[in-house]
Structure 1
Amino acid sequence: MHRRRRTALILSAAIVAAAPLLTACGSEAHPGAAAVVGGQRITVAQLESRVNEVRAAQRAATKDDAQYEQAIAKTGSLTRDTLHGMVLDRVLDRAAKDAGVSITRKDTQQMRTALEQQAGGSKALQTAWLQQYGVAPSRLDESLRTEIEAQKLAAALGVDMNTNEGKATFWKAMSASSRKLGVDLNPRYGAWDVQKSSRVDAKTPWLREVTTATQQPA
């Protein structure tokens, strides 16, 4: 179980860690939007709802306030990471469609069944995905679909994701999709590096991320 990782999440996390800080390039032309991808808004309300789902799941999975606070501390960048994932999923969808990739409900169910067997049951899998990837149980199938989509895209491109060359080809396709869609991030959440198809932190130290979890009592 622990050897399996979401392709998009792991690769994007590595890119974020290695990418230099960029000046925020998002605009304020879309009030209430956390990001605009392909002309479609990801609203701040939608982003906060996703974050709240994870926080609620973390609260339900912990025994006391101390454990909950530890969970929050480990996912301090949850809001930005969640937005990164929401944007990246749309970029991946576009890249997959361009490559003629399609995903069925059967694909997702087969992967879920296999992972549940490895993890020791549905509850164990949900807990693992929550702890490792910040995915709420209600979003597990959606997350698995993304994993399958990334794997199928790699297959369609004829690349081996275990090699640097394969990863480079995969992310070149993702970069092309980012460019076609025109990703525009609200500066408070950073900036989008089209070349690397990844969110990066902008040089805006006066902006402080305040998640719903820290605003509301546990």
Structure 2
Amino acid sequence: MHRRTAISVSAALLLAAPLLAACSGETRPGTAAVVGGERITTSALQAQVNDVRDAQNRSGQGSAELIASTPNLERQKLDSMLQSRIIDKMADTAGIEVSEKDIEEERKAYVAENGGTEQFEALLLQKGAMSPGQTDRFLRDRVLLTKLTAKYGNGKLEEPARTAVQALHIEVNPRYGAWDAKQIKLGAGETPWIVQRSQAEGAPVDPMAVPQR
């Protein structure tokens, strides 16, 4: 038995061509970004950053290394939030929904394949700078990407991603960087390609690693 696993923390590095010019306009005070006319506030972004820092500090002897490995955590978390909005838009356009049951099944599979909940959460923290409280969003993205791939075909998410990005009219507060028009991510961010692959049941899965092809 095999299950498809969407690999990577971000979601929209699906395109090779420029899709969206960086917006240099002024954003309202307290706004980190505007996506589809809705604000991502600086307080919401900071809450995610604080959650990660708290989890890193609780991680024990490796906490200093984890913190040192994420010097641009605000940008990284904002990029992750933006990528999730893009996935949501793609799913909405495709008429795809995700249920709590879907998320729980995905969680059970990841937990089983990575040796337990603690190990899975530690892996997400280390590889993707995600706190335990941010796991649900990660799993939701994975489920949606799998369903989108089932609908459009493996390697054929470019057009729905193009449509979603253009429709959202993303604006980013320059404090956090600027959109990379070629790769659809915040400049200087780490956004590996999304890869769909089959994984033998029972083999450990690194949800953040990009496998060799």
Tell me if TM exceeds 0.5.
yes
Q: 1:51 aligns with which of 29, 49, 52?
A: 49
Asked which structure has the greater RCO (Cα within 8 Å, sep 6+), the reply is 2
Q: Decide which structure has greater strand share.
A: 2
For the aligned residue pairs, the C-alpha RMSD in angstroms reads 2.8
Alignment correspondent of 2:168:
181
Identity over aligned residues, as a percent? 34
Alignment correspondent of 1:208:
none
Report the Cα distance in structure 2 between the residues aligned to 1:24 and 1:69, rounded to whole angstroms.
Answer: 34
Matches within 5 A, 1:151-162: 151-157=146-152, 159-160=153-154
1:164-189 superposed Cα distances (whole Å, 9 cap, x missing partner) = xx1xx313322211111110000121
Compared CA separation, residues 149 and 35, structure 1 to 2 (3 A): same
Partner SS for 2:58: helix
Q: Larger deviation: 170-179 or 34-43?
A: 170-179
Gaps spanning 5+ residues in structure 2: where? 190-213
Compared CA separation, residues 8 and 95, structure 1 to 2 (3 A): farther
Partner SS for 1:152: helix
Alignment correspondent of 1:199:
186
Q: 2:58 aligns with which of 44, 57, 60?
A: 60
The CA deviation at 1:156 is: 1.3
Gaps spanning 5+ residues in structure 1: where? 161-165, 203-218
Q: Decide which structure has greater helix share.
A: 1
What letter matches 1:9 in structure 2? S
Report the Cα distance in structure 2 between the residues aligned to 1:127 and 1:141, rounded to whole angstroms.
Answer: 14
Matches within 5 A, 1:42-121: 42-63=40-61, 67-121=62-116
Q: How many equivalent pairs are there? A: 185
Report the Cα distance in structure 1 between the residues aligned to 2:83 and 2:158, rounded to whole angstroms.
Answer: 11
1:171 is the counterpart of 2:166: no
The CA deviation at 1:122 is: 1.0
TM-score for both structures, normalised by structure 2: 0.77
